[in-house]
């Protein structure tokens, strides 16, 4: 046992000072204490980061060939359903028969309803936990239903499968825009509207989109609303769970149009995909990171300590610098003699 220890000592590359020859100082112990404190703090922060993971935002070219997706709509217009048309058209010139899929339901709304909702919202990128906790998928069960078409307001809702191409969804009045046998009475034209849901892709009713919950009011019957949406596919991921959504930015302008008043929502898809993924270090990576940080901290601390000692010696002199040291000599020793001997 003793012989192996001796053998190991031979290989010891670090020169050691016997403990009896070292001199402790108050400054030294303070700085050791501060270093320990700092180290515990850093470890604490790192462990917290390791447990929580970190959010990685990335943009990339959307490499998945996506052909069709759903356009989810839930919108209320201050006009009777019986005079409204809803259509989708895109650059492939497909005219979707949105009317056959969408549901039209007449509703009687108090005037206060139109004063409740706010009109402007900014584009938001909801955060990952918000999205995941609200990612309850749903479907509009009804298709192509018609109810109470005479009532003063109309709720139009449903999911229309569309091409992933530039296109537009529009709501117009009969006799204005498309040729129809009946023409909407002038005094009933009113494109005041409330958008409850307007989203692309799978229908997650609880995830907020830029247009959700917005209202637009007009006192002019022949008023036209133009929306311009740029859609960005967005993928949220956490703990192996992935949600494929689409967010969009909105630009909007209004005109007082004589011939075809209505609501025109134009959309286009970006070739870029955004991924918001929560990442985690592996335990091994975490340990390596921790060791690197602690090692670096020790080196830094010892440099700093030596630097400080030098400064103290330079500004206050050697004697001042030694004041904090413990006396290791016996009572009878003459301290002055000791200073001189070193
Ligand atoms: C449309 O309806 C809203 C809400 O009832 C009302 O405030 C607005 O003045 C109406 N506009 C027209 C042109 O009648």
pLDDT tens digits along 76-85: 999 999 999 9
- Model-wide pTM > 0.85: no
> What's the CA-to-centroid distance between 172 and ligand 1, angstroms?
16
Helix pair 26-52, 283-316: axis angle to 10 deg: 150
Q: Does 237 map to a domain? A: yes
One domain for residues 72 and 206 = yes
Please tell me which residue, 139 or 225, carries the higher pLDDT value.
Answer: 225
Q: Does 67 map to a domain? A: yes
**Does residue 111 have its Cβ closer than 6 Å to ligand 1?**
yes
**Total of domains in the chain:** 2
Q: Does 9 map to a domain? A: no
One domain for residues 174 and 317 = no
Q: Does 145 map to a domain? A: yes
Task: Assess whether pLDDT exceeds 50 at residue 338.
Answer: no
Question: pLDDT band for position 29 (50/70/90)?
Answer: confident
One domain for residues 223 and 119 = yes
One domain for residues 294 and 155 = no
Atom of ligand 1 at shortest range from CA of 78 = 2
Place of tokens 């009804």: 142
Write the CA distances from 59 to 56, 68, 96, 233, 283, integer angstroms: 10, 22, 32, 10, 27
One domain for residues 193 and 240 = yes
Q: Does 7 map to a domain? A: no
Residue 227: what pLDDT?
95
Query: Which residue has its alpha carbon closest to ligand 1 atom 6?
Result: 219
**Does residue 108 have its Cβ closer than 6 Å to ligand 1?**
no
One domain for residues 291 and 242 = no
Q: Does 342 map to a domain? A: no
> What's the CA-to-centroid distance between 207 and ligand 1, angstroms?
29
Query: Which residue has its alpha carbon closest to ligand 1 atom 8?
Result: 219
Phi-psi region of 53 (alpha: psi -120 to 50; beta: other; left: phi over 0): left
> What's the CA-to-centroid distance between 211 and ligand 1, angstroms?
20
Q: Tens of pLDDT along 152-186?
A: 999 999 999 888 889 999 999 998 877 777 888 98
One domain for residues 266 and 286 = no
> What's the CA-to-centroid distance between 262 and ligand 1, angstroms?
14
One domain for residues 146 and 240 = yes
**Does residue 82 have its Cβ closer than 6 Å to ligand 1?**
no
Query: Which residue has its alpha carbon closest to ligand 1 atom 12?
Result: 219
Task: Assess whether pLDDT exceeds 80 at residue 202.
Answer: yes
One domain for residues 181 and 162 = yes
SS3 of the chain: helix, strand, coil, percent, to 5: 30, 35, 35
One domain for residues 44 and 78 = no
One domain for residues 266 and 298 = no
For residue 42, the enclosing domain spans 23-53+281-325
Q: Does 331 map to a domain? A: no
Residue 5: what pLDDT?
62
**Does residue 113 have its Cβ closer than 6 Å to ligand 1?**
no
One domain for residues 233 and 259 = yes
Listing DSSP states for 24-62 in one string gives: -BHHHHHHHHHHHHHHHHHHHHHHHHHHH-EEEEEEEE-
Q: Does 18 map to a domain? A: no
Question: pLDDT band for position 224 (50/70/90)?
Answer: very high
């Amino acid at each position: 046992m003793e012989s192996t220890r001796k053998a190991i000592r031979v290989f010891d590359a670090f020169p050691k000072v016997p403990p009896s020859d070292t001199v402790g100082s108050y400054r030294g112990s303070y700085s050791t204490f501060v270093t320990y404190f700092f180290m515990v703090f850093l470890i604490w922060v790192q462990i917290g980061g390791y447990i929580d993971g970190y959010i990685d935002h990335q943009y990339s070219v959307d490499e998945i060939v996506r052909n069709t997706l759903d356009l989810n709509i839930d919108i209320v217009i201050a006009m009777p359903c019986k005079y409204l048309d809803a259509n989708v058209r895109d650059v492939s010139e497909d005219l979707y028969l949105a009317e056959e899929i969408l549901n039209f339901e007449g509703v009687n709304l108090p005037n206060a309803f139109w004063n409740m909702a706010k009109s402007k919202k900014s584009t938001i990128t909801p955060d990952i936990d918000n999205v995941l906790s609200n990612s309850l998928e749903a479907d509009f069960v009804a298709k192509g239903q018609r109810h109470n078409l005479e009532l003063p307001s109309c709720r139009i809702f449903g999911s229309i499968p569309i091409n992933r191409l530039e296109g537009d969804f529009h709501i117009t009045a009969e006799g204005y825009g498309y040729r129809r046998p009946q023409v909407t009475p002038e005094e009933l034209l009113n494109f005041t509207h409330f958008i409850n849901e307007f989203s692309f892709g799978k229908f997650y009713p609880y995830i907020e989109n830029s247009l959700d919950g917005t209202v637009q009011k007009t006192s002019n019957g022949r008023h036209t609303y133009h929306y311009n949406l740029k859609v960005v596919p967005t993928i949220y991921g956490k703990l192996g769970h992935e949600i494929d959504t689409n967010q969009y930015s909105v630009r909007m302008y209004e005109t007082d149009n004589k011939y075809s008043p209505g609501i025109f929502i134009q959309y286009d898809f970006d070739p870029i995909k955004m991924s918001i993924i929560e990442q985690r270090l592996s335990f091994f990576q975490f340990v390596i990171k921790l060791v690197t940080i602690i090692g670096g901290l020790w080196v830094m601390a010892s440099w700093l300590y030596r630097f400080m000692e030098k400064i103290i010696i330079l500004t206050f002199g050697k004697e001042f610098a030694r004041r904090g040291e413990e006396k290791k000599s016996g009572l009878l020793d003459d301290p002055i003699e000791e200073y001189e001997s070193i």
